[in-house]
């Protein structure tokens, strides 16, 4: 794909629904009793994989363009799937459903695409096995396919070595089927959508500091869920508004959950001009409109407890750093190695293609901004949606033509990304 550059950006957009919340709305609705209605659901490939998995387990799901209706059958209403559950490219689907599958009275197997079959699952296999789950990696490499067999689950207190909402959510979902209280303590608090939403569905779940606990559950009850706009998707337009020299963009209905808003903190630390307007609460999640205005950026350090709140936004932050004055240091982000691609490598490669001064490290990268040295490039997405979107934004601020290999991978999380981006370009 040929990528466009821009001298001016103007307009108002609403990004698609939050991917994390969309996944959870389907899963929790399926194991609840009665109807769950979801508005502003993200119609991306990953979330559609979640729908497909639950349909294979006997859940009727009516997926319309404007809403999704899940006809839940309760915690014990799922049926044995007649074929392998295919999570596609979705780590969220794989890891969260694994917690539910561990507590079912039937055999099942979950797998995914070639990329998914390389992503680490030991991080969930270890705590699930400690709970008594009968689960194994069919290839013996701690990756999918994962095979589940009926087993009695026990409540545990798990000290997670990683701050991961997927790991935490997997354990808490398995805890719904356990014989006692299940708790997870993280080294740093990860996103808390599971805790907020499970509580709304009726689960007895508590959070205290870095520990979340759930009690065994007899029933959950369906409800209406309005999904806020995904701040991870908004991040690309935040960056575009800051990087293009003449830009003003209003991004409507963005979720600003404090466990997810690291992009705002990091962008402001770099000097970004971002205003929060029309603050409100939607389905228990804080939401606002973001007004982004262009201006000079400077380097900063991104590390520590901030990392879990912006792990998916590091590629676009790295792009911003290349255009900023001074040096940006990103560390404590080794998790980047096990995303859809090794994002330390893919970000470094694409930044170097456009002439940026970047040095990869074991847990991040060091970027010395020099806008005058940057030039057009042929980017490679490596089939990673966040790499594709990040460098499409970079192309806006470069003076020379750019292309993107495998640009269509953005359908994983943001099918209309390119058209939305183009709608802001002033000719």
Distance (Å, rounded) from C-alpha 367 to C-alpha 155? 45
Q: Indicate the class that CATH gives domain 19-226.
A: alpha beta
Give one DSSP letter per residue of 211-267, joined into a string.
EEEE---S--B--EEEPPBPHHHHHHHHHHHHHSSEEEEEEEEEE--TTTTHHHHHH
* pLDDT for the residue numbered 66: 81
Tell me the whole-structure pTM to 2 decimals.
0.92
Write down the catalytic residue from 312, 384, 406, 420.
Answer: 312
Q: How many CB atoms lie within 10 A of CB 292?
A: 23
Catalytic-residue membership of 134: no
**Equal CATH topology for 2-16+228-422 and 19-226:** yes
- pLDDT, one tens digit for every residue, the chain (427 residues): 999 899 999 999 999 999 999 999 999 999 999 999 999 999 999 999 999 999 999 999 999 988 999 999 999 999 999 999 999 999 999 999 999 999 999 999 999 999 999 999 999 999 999 999 999 999 999 999 999 999 999 999 999 999 999 999 999 999 999 999 999 999 999 999 999 999 999 999 999 999 999 999 999 999 999 999 999 999 999 999 999 999 999 999 999 999 999 999 999 999 999 999 999 999 989 999 999 999 999 999 999 999 999 999 999 999 999 999 999 999 999 999 988 899 999 999 999 999 999 999 999 999 999 999 999 999 999 999 999 999 999 999 998 999 999 999 999 999 999 999 999 999 6
* pLDDT for the residue numbered 65: 84
Q: DSSP assignment, residue 18?
A: P
List the domain boundaries for the chain. Answer: 2-16+228-422, 19-226
* pLDDT for the residue numbered 338: 85
Name beta bridge partners: 14.
252
Q: Which residues contact 141 (CB under 8 A, 6 or more apart)?
A: none
Determine which helix (DSSP H) or strand (DSSP E) holds 327, and give its type and residue range. strand 326-330
Sheet with 134-137: list strands edge to edge: 85-86, 108-111, 146-149, 134-137
Q: Which CATH superfamily is domain 2-16+228-422 in?
A: Enolpyruvate transferase domain (3.65.10.10)
* pLDDT for the residue numbered 35: 98
């Amino acid at each position: 794909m040929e990528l466009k550059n821009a001298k001016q950006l103007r307009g108002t957009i609403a990004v698609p629904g939050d991917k994390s919340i969309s996944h959870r709305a389907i899963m929790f609705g399926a194991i609840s009793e009665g109807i769950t209605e979801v508005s502003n659901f993200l119609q991306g490939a990953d979330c559609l994989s979640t729908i497909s998995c639950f349909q294979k387990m006997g859940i009727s799901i009516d997926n319309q363009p404007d809403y999704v209706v899940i006809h839940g059958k309760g915690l014990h209403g799922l049926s044995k799937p007649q074929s392998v559950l295919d999570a596609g490219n979705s780590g969220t689907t794989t890891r969260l459903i694994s917690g539910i599958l561990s507590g079912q009275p039937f055999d099942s197997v979950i797998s995914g695409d070639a990329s998914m079959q390389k992503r680490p699952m030991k991080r969930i296999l270890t705590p699930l096995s400690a709970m008594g789950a009968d689960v194994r990696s069919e290839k013996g490499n701690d990756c999918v396919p994962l095979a589940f067999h009926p087993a009695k689950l026990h409540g545990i207190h798990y000290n997670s070595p990683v701050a991961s909402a997927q790991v935490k959510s997997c354990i808490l979902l398995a805890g719904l089927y356990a014989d006692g209280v299940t708790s997870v303590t993280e080294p740093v608090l990860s996103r808390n959508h599971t805790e907020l939403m499970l509580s709304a569905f009726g689960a007895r779940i508590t959070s205290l500091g870095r520990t979340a606990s759930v009690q065994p559950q007899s029933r959950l009850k369906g409800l209406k869920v309005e999904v806020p706009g995904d701040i991870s998707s908004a991040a690309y337009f935040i960056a575009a508004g800051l990087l293009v020299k003449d830009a003003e963009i209003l991004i409507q209905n963005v979720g600003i959950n404090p466990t997810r808003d690291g992009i705002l903190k990091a962008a402001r630390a770099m000097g970004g001009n971002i205003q929060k307007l029309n603050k409100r609460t939607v389905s228990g999640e804080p939401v606002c409109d973001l007004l982004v205005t262009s201006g000079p950026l400077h380097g900063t350090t991104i590390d520590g407890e901030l990392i879990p709140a912006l792990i998916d936004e590091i590629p676009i932050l790295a792009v911003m750093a290349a255009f900023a004055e001074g040096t940006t240091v990103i560390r404590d982000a080794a998790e980047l190695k096990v995303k859809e691609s090794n994002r330390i490598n893919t970000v470094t490669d694409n930044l170097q293609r456009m002439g940026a001064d970047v040095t990869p490290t074991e847990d991040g990268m060091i970027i010395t901004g020099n806008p005058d040295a940057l030039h057009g490039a042929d980017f490679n997405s490596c089939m990673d949606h966040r790499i594709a979107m990040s460098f499409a934004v970079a192309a806006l601020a470069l003076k020379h033509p750019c292309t993107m290999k495998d640009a269509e991978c953005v359908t994983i999380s943001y099918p209309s990304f390119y058209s939305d981006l183009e709608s802001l370009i002033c000719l």
